[in-house]
A and B are shown apart, each in its own frame.
Chain A
């Protein structure tokens, strides 16, 4: 598990599959090999009014950690991340009378997964309740666990195949944590951040 950077890629009037294909071609030209697919999904539960102050629980799954269910509890003042066993999903089902989910907010990112040397590249198509929203590129640099030490290298790699849409500063979530050890929950935080942005944005187009 190394440092992961999540990066939006503008679609610029292309359809989702076209964009994925374009990026796949580019990454394959660099010598990457496809190693299966990946899926990150997020479901949001909100507490019922009887519980008082409203809280939100985001439950996320990452195919990279198949045995784990990540959840982020948002109380409004602070966020509490939690990595748990697969049984957490069943627990949430039991708590359906306290925490209800809105089906139309289910967001997921899925697509092909490539490996190129020490990097792992995932090209994700974002859908929010099965509406196409955009393209999210995840790049993981496996040998390093401190973001500050590899950000420049990763930026260069990202710019190498995404062009200059890559900002020169790291993602906002990571900016305060550049010197800390990177953990899988940090990836989840980045995904949640992106999903929240996409949920608010109007649909780019119907998924074709």
Chain B
């Protein structure tokens, strides 16, 4: 289509249509002004329902007027009229109020008018309905009273019972002081695991707390005497609280450490946090003991689990074995460390070997301590040094950068020892210490002449201890004393000798034995020389490692040569680790001289004569040095 169509867009009709012309155009009424609309709304006010008719009449009147006025287009006039109805209504209201005020004023005087109550028509009462209503109300009140009485009764009985039985809530409060509890819907769940202390063991240690039932009470007292007779069970206590622990945590568990040498037990340690396995799983046990026992089981399980895991992972020269509830590790050749988890749930069966095997409190304590240390480390991290720095590295590692630590040091920092490694080291040290003690004691027993005394340092670490050995002769302590210090490590011994020399020895006890014997010989020679000095004798020569004579199975013989103050007597002492001490004496100018063809003059006898052996065992004297003193004295006085 060539033509465009005009589309008119207009606002919705808001005003009334006044007229529609023949051509269809609509003429609207002009919108009402503010005063007009106000008067329009005022018309609609309904002042009273009573004067409904009047209003209707007036309304029709006004509409009539409106129509008339609309026709005559006297808009101003039509605006005035509507207020008239309002005025009329207000006026009539005023009249009524005035009349009422007059009536009231007259009535108040009581002279002209008296107000009498008007007899009302009595209300008809439905008797049956009233009875029913009263019945219902009474029964409601009765119900309230009955439930109140019931509550009082139960509280009364509760109070009566509580005189003998401790209060559940008090008990719960006590439980709450030592154990973690939480409420899950209607049950109280507790947690006895070491998780809050830093444990990362998967097994949960939840237990449930409940109220002891009333009917259980009378059944328990008769049963209590029998368990009392069987063992040291805690005295029966009435508790209002019952804890139920999962079945896998019930019973008694302990970790047994056995050291076995060629199939015979050397020592064993029973680890049980509660002591010697006296705790039994008695059903009437107090909840505190019950929970402690369960916690102990959990701890032992975690410890064993950790050790078993490490035993499998560790690459030892002789692989560790994990069989069932036992871990076997070789500590030293021929000596095995067996760590076992013992868990018994039945009451009667007590560990039969508990009396036989001896208790090692040190190993017991250290295993306990090691796991606690791991727990502690899990919860106590070192603080990052710049507050924004990374969390985790140790203090040592954090200093490594600024201190310019080299690769070796950094590598050392990354090494961590597992629990099993540490306990093996401790066991190794235990054996080293035991062997050292044994060697020193047997030597002290065997060798009487120089006295061997050993002093163990009381302060030591689980993997290092120190012993000081003093070799001295009775009665001559001040004269000469040979001190030795031995550091007992895990697999080696470090001996610091008198002259400052440091010797390293392996775990074989024979090496230490040989070393001590060597020092005994040296001591004898040194002591003789010191004695000679005080006696005025002269030391001509001494050698700690003599090359002459028969070959010794261990070490070398040592010797010394002493000359009397006048020089005419010579004593030779030779000390051998195996055969002991030999003493020879030579008289330089022999007392009797017979000229021969070879030795013509007496002066040649000063060159020295033949040595003659002294039979020491026949000599008088308490010990070697005493004998030597007597010998020297006799040789000096003789001249």
Residues of A within 8 A of B405 (CB): 65, 67-68
- Name which of B173-181, B265-273, B396-404, B526-534 contacts chain A: B396-404
Determine if B401 and A69 form an interchain contact, defined as CB atoms under 8 angstroms apart.
Answer: yes
Judged by a CB distance under 8 angstroms, whether A87 is at the interface is yes
| CB of B415 closer than 8 Å to a CB of A | no
Interchain nearest-CB distance for B36 vs A (Å): 76
Task: State whether the Cβ of B389 lies closer than 8 Å to any Cβ in chain A.
Answer: yes
B406 interface residue per 8 A CB criterion: yes
In the complex, whether B551 has a CB less than 8 A from a CB of chain A is: no
The CA-CA distance from A83 to B404 in the complex, in Å, is 7
| Contact partners of A181 in chain B: CB under 8 A | none
Check B402–A83 contact: CB distance below 8 A: yes
Q: A49 contacts the other chain (Cβ, under 8 Å)?
A: no
B-chain residues with CB within 8 Å of residue A64 when the two chains form the complex: 406-407
CB neighbours (8 Å) of A1 from chain B are 404, 406
| A87 to B389 CA separation, bound complex (whole angstroms) | 9
Question: Judging by beta carbons under 8 Å apart, are A84 and B401 in contact?
Answer: yes
Give per-residue flags for B550-589: 1 if the beta carbon is below 8 A from chain A beta carbons, else 0: 0000000000000000000000000000000000000000
Q: How does the 8 Å CB contact mask read for B12-24 relative to A, with 1 for contact and 0 for none?
A: 0000000000000
B614 interfacial by beta-carbon distance below 8 Å: no
Cβ contact within 8 Å between B401 and A86: yes
The residues in A between 46 and 74 inclusive whose CB is less than 8 angstroms from any CB of B are 63-70
Question: Would you give the shortest CB distance from A137 to chain B, in whole angstroms?
Answer: 19
Complex Cα–Cα for A87 and B393 (A): 14
The yes or no answer to B93 lying at the interface (CB within 8 A) is no
> Does B113 reach chain A (CB closer than 8 Å)?
no
Q: How far is the CB of A42 from chain B (nearest CB, A)?
A: 16
**What 0/1 pattern do residues 403 to 423 of B give for CB contact below 8 A with A?**
111110010000000000000
The chain A residue with its CB closest to the CB of B389 is: A87
| Nearest chain A residue, comparing its CB with the CB of B385 | A85
A83 to B405 alpha-carbon distance, docked (Å): 10
| Residue of A with least CB distance to B413 | A67
Cα distance, A63 to B402, chains bound together (Å): 15
Residues from chain B with Cβ under 8 Å of A87 in the complex: 386, 389, 401
Asked if A85 and B407 make an inter-chain contact with CB atoms under 8 angstroms apart, the answer reads no
How far is B386's CA from A85's CA once the two chains are assembled, in angstroms?
11
In chain A, positions 148-179 with a C-beta closer than 8 Å to chain B are: none
A67 with B410: CB separation less than 8 A: yes
Q: Which residue of B lies closest to A38 (CB)?
A: B407
**Closest Cβ of chain B: how far from A207's Cβ, in Å?**
27
CB distance from A191 to the nearest CB of B (A): 14
Task: Please count how many residues in chain B sit with their CB below 8 Å of the partner chain's CB atoms.
Answer: 13
B410, A185: Cβ atoms under 8 Å?
Answer: no
Chain B interface main SS type: loop
Note all chain A residues with C-beta closer than 8 A to B403.
68, 83
**By the criterion CB–CB under 8 Å, are B400 and A68 in contact?**
yes
Closest to A62 in B: B404
Distance between Cα atoms of A70 and B403 in the complex (Å): 11
Could you tell me which residues of chain B, from 352 to 410, have a CB within 8 Å of some CB in chain A?
386, 389, 397-398, 400-407, 410
Question: Contact partner of B410 among A66, A70, A83, CB < 8 A?
Answer: A66
Q: Once the chains are docked, how many angstroms separate the CA of A63 from the CA of B404?
A: 11
Establish whether residues B389 and A68, one from each chain, have CB atoms under 8 Å apart when the complex forms: no
Within 8 Å by CB of B406, from A65, A85, A86, A185, lies: A65
Residues of A within 8 A of B404 (CB): 1, 65, 68, 70, 83, 183-185
Closest to B397 in A: A67
Tell me the nearest residue of chain B to A85, going by C-beta: B401
The proximity string for A residues 176-202 relative to B, scoring 1 for CB distances below 8 Å and 0 otherwise, is 000000011100000000000000000
Which of B389, B398, B401 meets A83, CB within 8 Å? B401
Provide the residues of chain A in CB contact with B410, threshold 8 Å.
66-67
* Complex alpha-carbon distance, A185 and B403, angstroms: 10
How near does chain B come to A2, taking the closest CB pair, in angstroms?
10
Report the Cα distance A68→B410, complex, angstroms: 11
* CB of B563 to closest CB in A, whole Å: 45
Contacts of B386 in A (CB 8 A): 87
- A183 CA to B406 CA, complexed, in Å: 11
What is the CA–CA distance of A60 and B124 in the complex, to the nearest angstrom?
113
A65 neighbours in B (Cβ, 8 Å) = 404-407
Nearest chain B CB to A139 CB, angstrom units: 16
Residue of B nearest to A184 (CB): B404
B400 CB contact (under 8 Å) in A63, A67, A70, A185: A67
Pick the residue among A63, A68, A183, A185 that contacts B401 (CB under 8 A). Answer: A68
Residues of A within 8 A of B389 (CB): 87
Interface residues of A in 70-102 (CB under 8 A from B): 70, 83-87
Complex: how many Å from CA A67 to CA B414? 13
Shortest distance from the beta carbon of B520 to any chain A beta carbon, whole Å? 36
Please name all residues of chain A whose beta carbon is closer than 8 Å to the beta carbon of B397 when the two chains form the complex: 67
Q: Say whether B407 contacts A68, CB under 8 Å.
A: no
Give the residues in chain B near A63, CB-CB below 8 Å.
407
A192-B400 Cα distance, complex, nearest whole Å: 22
Contact with A along B608-631 (1 / 0, CB 8 A): 000000000000000000000000
User: Nearest CB to that of A87 among chain B residues?
Assistant: B389
Which residues does chain B contribute within 8 Å of A66, judged by CB atoms?
Answer: 407, 410
Name the residue among A1, A68, A83, A87 with the largest chain B CB count within 10 angstroms: A68
Q: Which residues of A contact B402 (CB under 8 A)?
A: 68, 83-85
Instruction: List CB contacts (< 8 Å) of A84-125 with chain B.
Output: 84-87
Q: Which of B5-63 contact A (CB under 8 A)?
A: none
Which residue on chain B has the smallest CB distance to residue A64?
Answer: B406
CB contacts (< 8 Å) of A70 on chain B: these are: 404
CA distance A183 to B403 in the complex (A): 10
B398 to chain A, nearest CB (A): 8
Q: Which residue of chain A has its CB nearest to the CB of B400?
A: A67
CB distance from B292 to the nearest CB of A (A): 46
Q: Name, among B386, B401, B402, the residue most crowded by chain A CB atoms within 10 Å (CB to CB).
A: B401
Min CB distance B323 to A, Å, is 41
- Bound Cα distance A63, B410 (Å): 12
Q: What is the bound-complex CA distance between A121 and B407, given in angstroms?
A: 15
Q: For A185, list chain B residues within 8 Å (CB).
A: 404
Assembly CA distance A65 to B405 (angstroms): 6
Determine how close the nearest CB of chain B comes to the CB of A73; give it in whole angstroms.
Answer: 16
The listed residue with most B CB atoms (<10 A of its CB), out of A69, A85, A86, A87, is A85
16 A–B contacts from the bound complex (CB under 8 Å): A1-B404, A1-B406, A63-B407, A64-B407, A65-B407, A66-B407, A66-B410, A67-B400, A68-B401, A68-B402, A83-B401, A84-B401, A86-B401, A87-B386, A87-B389, A183-B404
- 16 additional contacts, CB 8 Å, given A66-B407, A70-B404? A63-B407, A64-B406, A64-B407, A67-B400, A67-B401, A67-B410, A68-B400, A68-B403, A68-B404, A68-B405, A83-B401, A83-B402, A83-B404, A84-B401, A85-B398, A87-B389
Interface residues of A (CB under 8 A from B): 1, 63-70, 83-87, 183-185
Closest 8 CB pairs of A and B: A85-B401, A184-B404, A68-B404, A67-B401, A65-B404, A67-B400, A83-B404, A68-B401
